[in-house]
Amino acid sequence: MTDDGDVSGKTAWGQAVAAVALVGALGVGVWAAEGDSSGESEPKPAACSGGKAEKGERGVSGAQLCKALNRKDLAELLGTPGEIAKTASGSGSTLELAGGREIHTPSAEVQFESYTVHLSATNDGLPVAGSGTLLGDTEKQRKFMGRPAVLYSDRTLAIRFRLDGSDADSGPGVPARVLSVAQDANDRGGSFELTLWREDGEVPDATMLFQVAAQVLPTIPGWAAATR
């Protein structure tokens, strides 16, 4: 992990992570932490096994991303050993562009008391190299595990629901750090994005983001084959 200097807090267009809304938009399923039915009070970590790819889904699925992200040692990698995952989720979805073109956008998310980690894949056919210029001059293009990558700062999207049933409103949430890495070692298009934010609203440590990415990304199906 090299060149892990600070990055500006500039918001990147089209990259907002819906910290609250994501839970309500899942296509594969949500698995919350469960208590032991035998009467023990100690909760069990959330699990996300059993999800299936949606019909017509291409490439990696949200369920597969969740399996890669929801590691037993994830809390330790985040510097909070002993914390357990409260929720784990996977989503298989598509984004329709003008002209009817669809982009497969599966994602997964694991939430702890202190941190939330979000992992997504975008099969847009666009290379990661050079994309840093779209994020501003202060954003940093780099190599990560031998692949083109970009580190940038963003903010989550906070959704506020009204108790009287009227329309919900939205606004900026907490600071987040995002590492976008090419899906293919030759950068032929598409990326994996790992996003990290803190529940206390403080700016996440980029070094910690790299540490999580180094363990999670290689476990995504097809990662090893795409290194050649």
Answer yes or no: is 157 within a domain: yes
Q: Reply yes or no on whether the pLDDT at 144 is more than 70.
A: yes
Q: What pLDDT is stored for residue 74 in this prediction?
A: 97
Instruction: Give the Cα separation of 64 and 223 in Å (integer).
Output: 12
Instruction: Give the Cα separation of 92 and 90 in Å (integer).
Output: 7
Q: Reply yes or no on whether the pLDDT at 2 is more than 50.
A: no
Query: Residue 40 in 3-state DSSP?
Result: coil
Answer yes or no: is 176 within a domain: yes
Query: Residue 95 in 3-state DSSP?
Result: strand
> What percent of the chain is modeled with pLDDT above 70?
64
Q: What pLDDT is stored for residue 4 in this prediction?
A: 44
Answer yes or no: is 40 within a domain: no
Q: What pLDDT is stored for residue 207 in this prediction?
A: 94
Instruction: Give the Cα separation of 198 and 81 in Å (integer).
Output: 15
Average confidence (pLDDT) over 6-20? 37
Answer yes or no: is 179 within a domain: yes
Answer yes or no: is 196 within a domain: yes
* C-beta separation of 30 from 69 below 8 A: no
Structure tokens at 159: 């959704």
Instruction: Give the Cα separation of 39 and 42 in Å (integer).
Output: 9
Q: What pLDDT is stored for residue 147 in this prediction?
A: 94
Q: For 17-31, what is each residue's pLDDT tens digit?
A: 444 433 333 333 333
Answer yes or no: is 75 within a domain: yes
Instruction: Give the Cα separation of 159 and 145 in Å (integer).
Output: 35
Collect all residues with Cβ–Cβ distance below 8 Å to 146 and sequence separation of at least 6: 185, 227
Domain count, the chain: 1
Q: For 31-78, what is each residue's pLDDT tens digit?
A: 344 444 444 566 788 888 544 555 445 578 999 999 999 999 999 999
Answer yes or no: is 22 within a domain: no
| Parent domain of 80 | 61-162+169-223
Answer yes or no: is 28 within a domain: no
The whole model's pTM is what? 0.74
Query: Residue 225 in 3-state DSSP?
Result: helix
Structure tokens at 131: 């994309």
Q: What pLDDT is stored for residue 16 in this prediction?
A: 37
The count of residues in the chain is 228
Q: What is the DSSP letter of 173?
A: E
Domain CATH code at residue 71: 3.40.1000
